[in-house]
């Protein structure tokens, strides 16, 4: 079911409208990555006054690093971790556009989706971002005991969170939030597994730029399958 939903999302790349959504989504993802990377550098500047020497990158000393030659390489490396909050921020800004493009192609005839105000979406995103940071900090305590399974723990923790957020927001467009949460709880294991499969490629630099768009499309198909809709 999950792989079928993902393959449908990939197959729609030939759709001109979906390609436009993809290009905008990749651009937004890159902009969000740069913004979160700049925040990361600002934190370094605030708490570590001396420059940190990183191999192949050079000295990292805060926002001044943002425009250095090694900065692009450093951002690509850090995207392994930074793409998780980027994928979270993506949902409130662009998930509705991706889901609508998928539904127009595969599920014609649906009534207009329910609209969530930007303020509510922003609050949800901030709450989720806080939960994402908190659980990843807790996961750091497990890493010394995980050994070679550290990536698995990282993907499982973030997959649970991303699956929860993406599925809930996709389902809420059609069912409202209470019903969306109820549907997610009934299929929590499938949602978690789908989120983990999304978290894994988010750890691959450059590839991860397209994953928020494909993830939103995949969860749209997954929702309609779990909600009893049969795609044409």
**DSSP-based three-state secondary structure for 52:** strand
| Domain presence at residue 95 | yes
Residue 198 included in any domain:
yes
**pLDDT at position 53, please?**
54
pLDDT at 141 over 80: no
Residue 113 within a domain: yes
232, part of any domain: no
Q: Is residue 207 part of a domain?
A: yes
Taking only Cα atoms into account, the Rg of the chain, rounded to an integer number of angstroms, comes to 18
Long-range contacts of 117-126 (CB under 8 A, 24+ apart): 118/92, 121/91, 121/92, 122/92, 124/92, 124/165, 124/169, 125/88, 125/89, 125/91, 125/92
Per the structure, the count of domains in the chain is: 1
User: How does pLDDT run across 209-220, given as a tens digit for each residue?
Assistant: 999 999 999 999
Which pLDDT tens digit goes with each residue over 31-46?
888 888 787 777 766 6
Task: Quote the pLDDT of residue 232.
Answer: 42
Query: Does pTM top 0.85 for this prediction?
Result: no
Listed range (136-145, 147-156, 188-197, 204-213) with the worst mean pLDDT: 136-145
Please report which confidence band the pLDDT of residue 71 belongs to, taking 50, 70 and 90 as the band edges: low
pLDDT of residue 189: 96
Asked if residues 207 and 29 have their Cβ atoms less than 8 Å apart, the reply is no
Residue 26 included in any domain: yes
The confidence band for 47, taking pLDDT boundaries of 50, 70 and 90, is low
Quick check: is 231 in a domain? Answer: no
pLDDT of residue 183: 96
* Non-local CB neighbours of 143 within 8 Å, separated by 6+ positions: 150, 153
Question: What tokens does 148 get?
Answer: 């070679």
Can you give the pLDDT at residue 60? Answer: 52
Contact 181, 59 (CB under 8 A): no
Domain coverage including residue 130? 2-226
């Amino acid at each position: 079911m999950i792989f079928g939903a993902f393959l449908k999302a990939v197959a729609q790349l030939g759709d001109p409208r979906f390609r436009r959504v993809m290009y905008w989504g990749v651009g937004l993802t890159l902009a969000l990555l740069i913004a979160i990377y700049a925040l990361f550098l600002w934190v370094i500047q605030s708490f570590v006054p001396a420059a940190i020497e990183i191999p192949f990158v050079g000295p990292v000393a805060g926002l001044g690093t943002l425009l250095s030659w090694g900065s692009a390489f450093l951002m690509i490396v850090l995207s392994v971790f930074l793409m998780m909050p980027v994928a979270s921020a993506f949902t409130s800004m662009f998930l509705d556009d991706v889901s609508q493009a998928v539904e127009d192609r595969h599920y014609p005839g649906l009534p207009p989706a329910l609209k969530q105000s930007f303020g509510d979406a922003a609050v949800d995103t901030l709450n989720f971002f806080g939960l994402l940071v908190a659980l990843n900090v807790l996961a750091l305590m497990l890493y010394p005991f995980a050994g070679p399974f550290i990536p698995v723990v990282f993907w499982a923790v973030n997959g649970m969170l991303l699956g929860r957020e993406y599925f809930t927001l996709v389902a809420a467009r059609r069912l409202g939030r209470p019903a969306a949460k109820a549907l997610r709880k009934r299929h929590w294991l499938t949602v978690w597994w789908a989120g983990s499969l999304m978290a894994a490629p988010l750890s691959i630099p450059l590839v991860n730029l397209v994953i928020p768009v494909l993830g939103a499309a995949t969860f749209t198909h997954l929702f309609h399958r779990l909600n009893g809709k049969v795609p044409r």
